[in-house]
Amino acid sequence: MVRPVFIGILGVAIVLIGAAGLLYSGSQELVQATRPDVPFAPLTDDSLKDPDNPAKVFRVDFARVESDLPLSRADLMALTPDNLRSLNQEEIDQIYGRLAAGPIPDGAYLGDLFFPRGEEGDLEPRLEEIVGGFKGRLAGRKIEIAEKLGRALWKGKMFYREERVLRNFIEDFRPLEALIDNPDALLTANVPREGWLKYFRPTTNVWLVFPAKLYCGQSLLDGRRESIIIDYMFSDEIAGYQKGPDSLAGRGGLQVRDEIRMVRPGFYLGRAYVHKAFLLNFTLYNPEVAEAGAADFMGGGDVAEDCWIGEQARQAAVQ
């Protein structure tokens, strides 16, 4: 059952989208990427049956997917932030389950986000499938608006590896200043611009807000190995914290918790949770790191791992 309050929160996006529409049009391009040619297991395991509930559907086990259909380095090189958006949520989960955390990033990583999409060919928002009917379509449209708004304003994350903290990029959008305690005290950065405006102004100024702590921890999706955790619960302990707006993501607000795993050098796939409930997927990409590490990665070079890689990966390495 979908909580009415969740749909209500999404409805706020309708009020905000008018102010952000112009920003969005010059910020992120709507890319219709080609579906990546990587292997996926069937989304359900028909060999498993529940005698007490014959209608129960069993999802395929990640350990089995990784054993039967491991992703090669060529497969991982074929994945991009754009073409991941062409997959349904179960396929995104299968990719995430076949990744390891990799090294904790350092520096600026450009971000993109997308909400869970259903299994049908049109990839409608998953919430629309769950609710169904007219209410489902309405919920789906709100999700699409919220996704556009999120892509317009959120630009990525600035990692401070040695300090084990990060801050999020938010577009320097003056109407949002009313939500900030002290706009003049905000940390800022210049980062590469995305969208068609990059041809006129290759960089853009962003605010660094919503600080979080970085550490290795158990994935909420796949407990077989660790992920890099981005934890906002105690962000008020990080230098530069401002209650408005930073508390929105912390323990007194939405209690956001992100986790990421490395697809390949310079490219991470992430999952965002609110009150421990999965909300959306996101990608992080640093083109300089990706370009510098591509040849060595494809050549079989070692990949640094800051987190526990799990027993299954260790056994495969021994073989």
Residue 109 within any structural domain of the chain: yes
The DSSP line for 242-286 is: -HHHHGGGSTTTT-EEEEEEEEETTEEEEEEEETTEEEEEEEEE-
- What is the per-residue pLDDT for 2? 47
Give residue-wise pLDDT tens across range 85-100: 999 999 999 999 999 9
**How many whole angstroms separate alpha carbon 291 and alpha carbon 146?**
32
- What is the per-residue pLDDT for 177? 84
Structural domain span for residue 172 = 4-34+101-318
Provide the 10 A C-beta neighbour count for residue 114.
22
Residue 192 within any structural domain of the chain: yes
Question: Residues for the chain: how many in total?
Answer: 319
Residue 23 within any structural domain of the chain: yes
Provide the 10 A C-beta neighbour count for residue 41.
18
- What is the per-residue pLDDT for 145? 63
Residue 60 within any structural domain of the chain: no
The dihedral region occupied by 109, where left means phi > 0, alpha psi between -120 and 50, and beta the remainder, is beta
Residue 175 within any structural domain of the chain: yes
**Whether this model's pTM surpasses 0.85:** no
Residue 219 within any structural domain of the chain: yes
- What is the per-residue pLDDT for 216? 98
Cis geometry, peptide bond prior to residue 192 (ω within 30 degrees of 0): no
Cα 138 to Cα 125, 144, 280: the distances in Å are: 11, 10, 18
Three-state SS for 280-311 is EEEEEECHHHHHHHHHHHHCCCCCCCCCCCCH
- What is the per-residue pLDDT for 21? 42
Chain position carrying tokens 């990692």: 159
With beta carbons less than 8 A apart as the criterion, state whether 188 and 177 touch: no
* Number of compact structural domains in the chain: 1
Q: Which of 66, 59, 60 is nearest to 98 (CA)?
A: 66
Residue 190 within any structural domain of the chain: yes
- What is the per-residue pLDDT for 82? 94
Q: Which of 204, 184, 186 is nearest to 194 (CA)?
A: 204
- What is the per-residue pLDDT for 314? 52
Give Cα 83 to chain centroid, integer Å: 14
Residue 41 within any structural domain of the chain: no
Give residue-wise pLDDT tens across range 125-160: 444 443 344 343 444 455 566 667 777 789 999 999
With beta carbons less than 8 A apart as the criterion, state whether 205 and 227 touch: no
Q: Which residues of the chain have a pLDDT value below 50?
A: 1-27, 121-140, 316-319
With beta carbons less than 8 A apart as the criterion, state whether 6 and 143 touch: no
